[in-house]
Amino acid sequence: HLTTFKVNGVCFGIIICYDTWFVELYREYKKLGVDCILHSIYSNYRDFSDRTNKENTEDTSFPQTHARVNRFWISSSNYADKYQDATSTWTEPNGHVTSLSFKRASVMVNEIDLTANHWDPSSPYRDLALKGILTNGKKNRDPRSTDRTIL
């Protein structure tokens, strides 16, 4: 069940913990017009001592990728603890992580500016692709495009 709500004209969607692994959820939120994903995490790998002393790049790269591909902000928050494995991040639609907190209690205050220009080379074609139109040119009738066993 995808949940959306609006605050001051900004449309939010909610993702929890393990949902980050399913790109389809983010794409569906994009189709619903979501501007910002609120992603709550509880990540605690106490048994993996090699992971307790460094930031987990998965937890910054996932929000970066989902934000950049779908062009929305992502607030990804984890609890603060000495065994915390996942970072809390604020990621902009261009994939830039502008706030990050790891293994410490903190509050991140960030701005969503719907008028900001976050460069997107795919913007002229994104709505077409979401509708399943994957080319903007005329269809190629070359036999090599339909029968790929010939040279």
- Segment-wise mean pLDDT, segments of 10 residues, the chain, 151 residues: 94 90 91 93 56 54 86 84 70 86 76 86 81 74 78 71
Between helix 23-31 and helix 123-130 the angle, nearest 10°, is 100
Q: Cβ–Cβ contacts within 10 Å for residue 83, how many?
A: 15
Residues near 77 by Cβ (< 8 Å), separated by ≥ 6? 38, 39, 40, 41, 88
Dist. CA 2–CA 14, nearest whole Å = 7
Domains in the chain: ranges and CATH: 4-116 (3.60.110.10)
pLDDT reported for residue 48: 45
Token duo for residue 141: 């009738």
pLDDT reported for residue 5: 97
SS3 29: helix
Query: Up-side HSE of residue 63: CA atoms within 13 Å toward CB?
Result: 31
pLDDT reported for residue 52: 47
Using alpha carbons only, give the angle 26, 115, 61 rounded to the nearest 5 degrees: 35
